[in-house]
Amino acid sequence: MKNLRQPESGFSWFYQRFLNNHITILLLNIFLLLLVLNELMQNAWLLAPVWQFIGIAMPAVVVAGILFYVLDPLVHLMERRLHLRQGLAIAIAMIATAAIIVIIFLNLIPFLTKQTTGIISALPQFANDMLHNLNHLNQQHHWLSNKNLADINERVSTYFSKRGLNLLTGTLSSLGNVVTTVSDWIITIITAPLVLFFMLKDGTRFPHYISQVVPTAYRSRFVVMLDQMNVKVSSYVRGQLTVALCVLIIFTTGYSIIGLRYALLIGLLAGPLNLIPYFGSAIALVPALIMGVVTSPSMLLGVVIVYLIEWVLETQVLSPLIMGNSLAMHPITIVFVLLAGGKMFGLVGVIFGVPGFAVLKVLATTAFQWYQEYSALYPDVLPPDKLSQP
């Protein structure tokens, strides 16, 4: 006779199906994690000193981190080709960078201040020019009645007059707030070079230092994860800064060629805005379009042509050549990251949302790979120590 399987007891069945189950254990761990996070949120005051420290130190760390990714290749190049010692190469790179920044600021700030003040003062005149062009077009095509057109003229003139006055008075009144933030800027200016020096000096040793707090069995995987994060962030930062500089040069040159007023100011605005993927160049186009509208139809056409030339060069030449697909992220994903980052953290979230998401993606991918190997729910994925076994 065949041996009949003995029926499982109720407790044994419950134990095998639920208690001794990997999915149950995973859900339990997730629940405990959420419980801990909820307790931390309920007692957020305990973390207030930590957040204050981060708020003070983060600007210096971010500035130093950006400069680190820019200067690190230069330092290694001087070490390899010029056979300079590391400390001397770092000193030369930092002194040269400081000199360039000082020269740029000393030459640009007075000019940009003059240009900005001129734009604010000319806002009422821009409004009158725009309304004049609108009247001219309306006389040709009869889009609006004279009453509606007069109402629009009055509202636009009043708005721009008040807006220009508010900008000037707001600038003067905000001087008090500027004074209160000077200390933060001083801390950043003093601290950032120190942080940058040690990043350039000990940057390659950081993963080893940090991995000492990780259990020995997971250190190698942790170091690999940090290296992947560094590669993602470094390629993104260097690529975005290079593309932004190229965009600044293209817009400034193009607007200067067609004779657009305030071409340098608009070009300098377009460069930093291009750090926002997909939307930066379009946002930078708005002031150029306004200047084209208030100048003449031919100038407006010239602005559009310059933008199209820049868009073709950026999307078809610069970004593929410089950026490539370093982040391995779908464009739709980037769009949603920008929307979520802007909603939660404002402009900071828009600028740093994409590299931040890339870091979180590497962290999540590494954690999921570890879970695949050790959870026994994915038998086709074996841990590294078992791959060499027959």
Tokens, residue 188: 């950043």
CB atoms within 10 A of CB 274: 26
* pLDDT computed for residue 16 by the predictor: 60
CA distance linking residue 126 with residue 293, whole number of Å: 9
What is the pLDDT, as a whole number, of residue 175? 45
CA–CA separation, 148 vs 141, rounded Å?
Answer: 15
Look at the alpha carbons of 104, 110, 116, 122 in this order and tell me if their dihedral is positive or negative.
negative
Are 355 and 368 spatial neighbours (Cβ–Cβ below 8 Å)? no
Domain boundaries, the chain: 56-167+179-202, 214-375
- Residue 117 corresponds to which tokens in the numbers above? 């003040």
Contact 318, 344 (CB under 8 A): no
What are the distances in angstroms from CA 76 to CA 26, 73, 198, 203, 321?
A: 45, 5, 15, 12, 23
Q: DSSP 3-state assignment of 328? A: coil
d(CA 227, CA 156): 55
Look up tokens 């210096």; give the residue: 60
- Report residue 310: phi and psi, to 5°: -65, -40
DSSP state of 217: G
Write the DSSP symbol of residue 144: S
Verdict on whether the full-model pTM lies above 0.75: no
pLDDT, position 387: 46
Instruction: Determine the Cα–Cα distance for residues 243 and 319; give it in Å rounded to an integer.
Output: 7
**3 state DSSP class of 83:** coil
For residue 21, is it left (φ>0), alpha (ψ between -120 and 50) or beta? beta
| Rounded distance between C-alpha atoms, residue 87 and residue 95, angstroms | 12
DSSP annotation string for 9-39: PHHHHHIIIIIT-HHHHHHHHHHHHHHHHHH
Q: Where does the chain have alpha helices with state H?
A: 10-14, 22-42, 48-81, 86-121, 123-141, 146-173, 175-202, 206-211, 219-257, 263-273, 280-295, 297-313, 331-374, 384-387
Say how far apart CA 355 and CA 235 lie, in whole Å: 10
Question: Residue 112 has which token pair?
Answer: 């940009």
Contact 123, 156 (CB under 8 A): no
Among the listed residues 304, 327, 318, the one whose alpha carbon sits nearest the alpha carbon of residue 235: 327
What is residue 39's predicted lDDT score, i.e. its pLDDT? 78
Cα–Cα dist 185/178, whole Å: 10
1 Cβ contact partners less than 8 Å away, ≥ 6 residues apart: none
Per-residue confidence of the chain (390 residues) as pLDDT tens digits? 444 444 455 556 555 666 666 667 777 878 888 888 887 777 777 777 777 777 778 888 888 888 998 898 899 889 888 888 888 999 999 999 999 888 888 887 777 777 777 777 766 666 666 666 666 665 655 555 555 656 666 665 665 555 554 554 554 444 445 555 666 677 778 888 888 898 888 878 888 888 888 888 778 888 888 888 888 888 888 888 888 889 899 999 999 999 888 888 888 888 888 888 777 878 888 888 888 877 778 888 999 999 999 888 888 888 777 766 666 677 778 778 888 887 888 777 878 888 888 888 888 888 888 777 776 666 666 555 544 444
The whole-number pLDDT of residue 17 equals 61
